[in-house]
Amino acid sequence: MTEDNAYTIKWGILSTGWIAHQFATDLAHAGNGVAYAVGSRTQESADEFARNHGIPVAYATYEELVCDPEVDAIYIGTPHPFHKENALLALRAGKAVLCEKPFTVNSAELEEIVAYARQQKLFLMEAMWSRYIPANAKVREWLAAERIGEVRLVKADLGFRAGWNPEGRLLNPALGGGALLDVGIYPISFASMVFGPHPEAVSSTVHIGETGVDEHFSLLLSYGGGKSASLNGGIRLKLHEEAYIYGTEGFIVVKGTLVNPKSAELYIGGELAETFEDDRTSIGYSFEAEEVGRCLQAGLTESPVMTLDESVAILKLLDGVREQWGLKYPGE
């Protein structure tokens, strides 16, 4: 944080891929942070990214980026098999870290990162951007106020039909491909937001495609007391992406898409009682960036909205699902 303005976080962006472009674009809408530097694997790529986003400093290596004393926080936008090494690189340089979801390929990798961050008292957060979207924040308000009574059921799906590219990120086992880690983590995190990350029982079905990754799946999570979540995900199957939360007195519909909803509806006794509309022009990544800024300003080392313990528990859940399927990634 700069001395003249304690509310401005200088961000370093580690990666020049698609998701990094999205994050850098949206930083212009963040009230407490700016894109200060970018690091890539080549100077050419870093320079082009910096030009596109008006970033003052561009580095040809990730090592140079994390060692820049002006950088307060590092955003990691690389493919998830590289998250562990990238996050540890930034943490060892003393930087706060916001790491794209899924945090890591498995829970053992994440536990190693979390242990180091906590030992060094450094900020670390998963970039589960949907958790910070205003519509989902409103949903949490409705739930906390028990507007729909006791919640009994969550239904959440996310899926699209990707083109056939066996070497690409989505279908390549070496890149952690498959529906569970890419899109499945969104409905699973949504259910965790409602019920917590510790279901009592997990049932699943999966379709493993010819490249060896899960192309679509269905999960049924049981939490006891009549509470359950029905979740589906796919990367070769287009799904209807709204989410539903059913309670004893009403229900909530998260409209549009589970990833980045723009509206939510509250129904009580079958009648529409309240609608939340989000008229923002930003993509939505600015909200997670602002959360990092708020936490750093408050001296926190993790976000109370998405704790590290919750991120670890969700990855352990994903590990257990893959164990049911007999699915391992190279190197595991």
The full 3-state SS of the chain, as one line of letters, equals CCCCCCCCEEEEEECCCHHHHHHHHHHHHCCCEEEEEEECCCHHHHHHHHHHHCCCEEECCHHHHHHCCCCCEEEECCCHHHHHHHHHHHHHCCCEEEEECCCCCCHHHHHHHHHHHHHHCCCEEEECHHHHCHHHHHHHHHHHCCCCCCEEEEEEEEECECCCCCCCCCCCHHHCCCHHHHHHHHHHHHHHHHHCCCCCEEEEEEEECCCCCEEEEEEEEEEECCEEEEEEEECECCCCCCEEEEECCEEEEEECCCCCCCEEEEEECCEEEEEEECCCCCCCCHHHHHHHHHHHHCCCCCCCCCCHHHHHHHHHHHHHHHHHHCCCCCCC
Task: Render each residue's pLDDT in the chain as its tens digit; 332 residues.
Answer: 544 445 799 999 999 999 999 999 999 999 999 999 999 999 999 999 999 999 999 999 999 999 999 999 999 999 999 999 999 999 999 999 999 999 999 999 999 999 999 999 999 999 999 999 999 999 999 999 999 999 999 999 999 999 999 999 999 999 999 999 999 999 999 999 999 999 999 999 999 999 999 999 999 999 999 999 999 999 999 999 899 999 999 999 999 888 999 999 999 999 999 999 999 999 999 999 999 999 999 999 999 999 999 999 999 999 999 999 999 998 88
Q: What pLDDT, on a 0 to 100 scale, did the predictor assign at position 1?
A: 55
- pTM equals 0.95
